[in-house]
Structure 1
């Protein structure tokens, strides 16, 4: 059994993501610049071993892309493991049905798709499954229903207790429910999971999560191009640093219309 002190080779369960050019319908989400870029790219997007972050402004398509990646990998669109098959309100795009994943020789032992905006629905499904005959489900989530924890606490419980060695984990903006301390806890857990042979892809705006050592950061530009960047050049890091260094300068611009 792999323990927290044991390191194994970083995993590359999914090696590459491609979108055939003929898959485009001319309608959303294929009109998103990042989707068009992926369709035009012959090689597609390479996913390295360990942890990969996707960053970009709102509307660049990073959440759409990670949701589609989850669907293509067999996860429930609203979140959960590959065994979850509930649907509260179908809102996923058709992109996941068109993505082509290049898998490595090793297969993940476990996996989970955390979609921050619909985790409430996942929590309800966890409660429902826990009441069915068979082994209890809640111990895998910390022993307490996510509905009985704060949103942020339930996220930390999830990555601490449900995520395990040799897994494929996809996270869409997990910082949405986390305090600064919570982000630090998740960062530490992601580092531990990477050492335990997991592959993790995260769409995020958090400069704290992006500080994870040895992680790959892909930034989606306004034109949709996906390019690797280092930590200091990543958009969330640059903007946060600039704001904290001179908040008054930003506030004068942002609140100019409120002045008498």
Structure 2
């Protein structure tokens, strides 16, 4: 484990009424401990999980629209207001890593295509060809399989956005292969990924708190739907003609 604690310098925030500082999860937030190499952030859209992940990426020196320290390109998601008030405490600091942001992955793929590389090997870490020449899911897995390695920290923002359930399991296997000397922090809605064994899970709904897998709303709703699909649908459509 490399990154062990996040500290929020809330007292230094000039205006707590402005976004993203007014997100309810940050109201009483002071520190977040990362006791395991695999950590998940869960919560509804707008709960702050992706915002905090972006702030970590900012403090790691990664491009906040997606990429590593070596990727510089212009896109509107290129600054983290929260990141200026987050401090990272490391057991052993690493420079290697990657921030995957699903919503700006297209721009990242375009950036790779435009990079000048006289060696002709710029796609080696991405499956040997342009990410735009692969399906969305294939390009994500190409990144995970070829660019991810040991002694690094990986920040993944909703990686399931392009992954079928089968490929989510493939991602879990890749994480398992790297788990002993790489660290992952993942913001997700996927009940499959959240089932990764012995991971730390933080729920961002209302306030940031550690929860067990079976306590996540993602698990509860998915299990209820699978156990009693007809009953759930009857309740959902009860007032519709």
Q: Output the TM-score relative to the length of structure 2.
A: 0.93
Is 1:88 matched with 2:70?
no
Match of 1:204 in 2: 188
For 2:9 and 2:84, the matched residues in 1 are separated by 11
Seen in structure 2, the aligned counterparts of structure 1 residues 125 and 254 have a Cα distance that, compared at 3 Å, is same
Match of 1:17 in 2: 6
Match of 2:129 in 1: 144
Give structure 1 stretches of 5+ with no counterpart: 1-10
Q: CA deviation at 1:258?
A: 3.2
Match of 2:24 in 1: 33
For 1:192 and 1:125, the matched residues in 2 are separated by 28
Q: CA deviation at 1:124?
A: 0.8
Q: Deviations over 1:123-177 (max 9, x none)?
A: 1111122x33346220011112110111111111111110001111000000011
Match of 1:116 in 2: 102
What RMSD over aligned residues (CA atoms) do the two structures have, in Å? 1.6
CA contact (8 A) 2:131 2:139 kept: yes
For 1:252 and 1:93, the matched residues in 2 are separated by 43
Q: Deviations over 1:221-260 (max 9, x none)?
A: 3x2x22222222222111110111112222223223432x
Match of 1:4 in 2: none
Give the length in aligned residue pairs.
239
CA contact (8 A) 1:152 1:178 kept: yes
CA contact (8 A) 1:29 1:93 kept: no
Match of 1:6 in 2: none
For 1:78 and 1:91, the matched residues in 2 are separated by 5
Give structure 2 stretches of 5+ with no counterpart: none
